[in-house]
Structure 1
């Protein structure tokens, strides 16, 4: 069956052949832009540039057309200073990624004073402190001297059992309740370890979604990591209406399903994901903020990748 657009094209061709006036064809509304959704960038993609010149990096992001950023670091600055830089660039920052445990670097973590995180978030204007990855168990083995961070996180992810996921759910509920008193929310950003089958059935993501309080705990669906685990992001969104308030817009190439932080990135529109279908479903399910991100390694300047991603997404119809 022809859809309305195909019908109009067919009518136009017939009218042209007959010398008749062509019917008007209104441009379809775009998901980002005319349809009202803002498009953001996860600033981690430009971390190296931001460490050298944060103000210049924010201006560059704005010049690409992005209007929001999600940050994973304050780069040694106060929330007030970050807020001033964002205003100067014409950007807002609705979400801050926070590590569950301190990694021993300068990334913010929930191991530090919650009051300091709250103060920075309020100064910046962020509404959500997003747990960037699952919180390690208290008895997690130490990182080996020569072990890369991703390998270490993958190793811990393989040790996560149902009890560890329930402790994460409890942490989200407790911290979310405290943040709610400050006018903030806690979010949870998934990778693919959450979808590893558990011996008793289900997976960690089932526990997190089922045992957290929707009144104070939100989720950020990283679509790329969902696909890397061979799960259907559309089915997940439809099954949990209102829980996924943020999206990481990320494409991946076809690969063997994995649960240990292995992902084969692809440029948007060239991977296995159909964004024309995913984005409207996400909106109907309650997603408000959409952050583009592509995971390293990068074959070219990540700023160029981010700019092309914006052009691709801004042209998508609803």
Structure 2
């Protein structure tokens, strides 16, 4: 009888632990790309799991066979507010495609449109690629601003190559008009090419408006190509990024939207623990 009671108590404690990870409201949002494989199979079932994590806001990454209106209806049903969405570089560069981006952003009710990739040739990334991108970003950003939307560029690692006495990322930041273009820092893709996310926030404190919060397996070799095995994405706090200092600096410069992005095949298991790790920082 005593052993049975102890077993029941132990099960109850496990239940409380799981519940505390999954039901309390998250202080941060999530990039829905984290669950791309699950959404591709079951949109509503996956959205329920996102809700169960306590997540109340997100950044959208596609509609998984739906249109924007239908996807927004599901987000509303599960109480998850979209605060940002993505757009490809080609969509920003084409005025007709940009109209669609604007229309869908308004349907979603978001205020930011994020671009996460600048086209370039293989592993090369040059000042010519930067110049082309800056022109597209400034022009598209002006159009988006006229529609009460903000354009954010999400760094991806290859921008941190040396150029003259600084880096190509400096060129992207200083050549874009802050009235039309700002930035979403992906902290993993800042550290992966050998840079310090805190230092870049201090260098341009007014330009970073959102953040992808990620961690990287200890011992992972970095590069400047924007490539890494997604299996190296870790639960926050278990990798080699100094998440505590990064979040502290991000909050100091006024970043409001923090999106956990976990591209690993373990995202459903890892994200609740990442949320629990972040809670004391907010």
TM-score in same-fold range (> 0.5): yes
Q: Which TM-score bucket, shorter chain as reference?
A: 0.7 to 0.9
For 1:48 and 1:113, locate their aligned partners in 2 and report how far apart those are by CA, in whole Å. 26
Q: Contact 2:93–2:140 (CA<8 Å) still a contact in 1? A: no
3-state SS of 1:313 partner: helix
Q: Contact 1:43–1:69 (CA<8 Å) still a contact in 2? A: yes
Please give the residue correspondences for 1:136-215 in structure 2 after superposition, counting only pairs within 5 Å: 136=119, 140=121, 155=122, 158-198=123-163, 200-215=164-179
Select between 240-249 and 51-60 the one with higher mean Cα deviation: 51-60
Q: CA deviation at 1:110?
A: 5.4
Which has the larger Rg? Answer: 1
For 1:167 and 1:114, locate their aligned partners in 2 and report how far apart those are by CA, in whole Å. 17
| 1:131 alignment counterpart | 115
Q: Mind listing any 5+ residue stretches in structure 1 that lack a counterpart?
A: 1-35, 102-107, 141-154
Q: Contact 1:38–1:289 (CA<8 Å) still a contact in 2? A: no
| 1:47 alignment counterpart | 36
For 1:206 and 1:109, locate their aligned partners in 2 and report how far apart those are by CA, in whole Å. 21
Normalized per residue, the structure richer in helix is 2
Q: Contact 1:37–1:288 (CA<8 Å) still a contact in 2? A: no
- Give the RMSD, CA atoms, in angstroms: 2.1
| 1:231 alignment counterpart | 195
| 1:292 alignment counterpart | 260
Q: Which runs of 4+ in 1 moved over 6 A?
A: none
Q: CA deviation at 1:109?
A: 7.0
Q: CA deviation at 1:55?
A: 2.1
For 1:182 and 1:176, locate their aligned partners in 2 and report how far apart those are by CA, in whole Å. 10
3-state SS of 2:153 partner: strand
Q: Contact 1:98–1:110 (CA<8 Å) still a contact in 2? A: no
TM-score by length of 1: 0.74
Q: Contact 2:26–2:53 (CA<8 Å) still a contact in 1? A: no
TM-score by length of 2: 0.83
Aligned in 2, Cα 1:110/1:40: closer, same or farther, shift over 3 Å?
farther
| 2:8 alignment counterpart | none
Q: Mind listing any 5+ residue stretches in structure 2 that lack a counterpart?
A: 1-24
Select between 260-269 and 283-292 the one with higher mean Cα deviation: 260-269
1:94-128 CA distance string (max 9 Å, x none): 11122213xxxxxx775562111111110111111
The match for 2:268 among 284, 299, 303 is 303
Q: CA deviation at 1:265?
A: 2.8
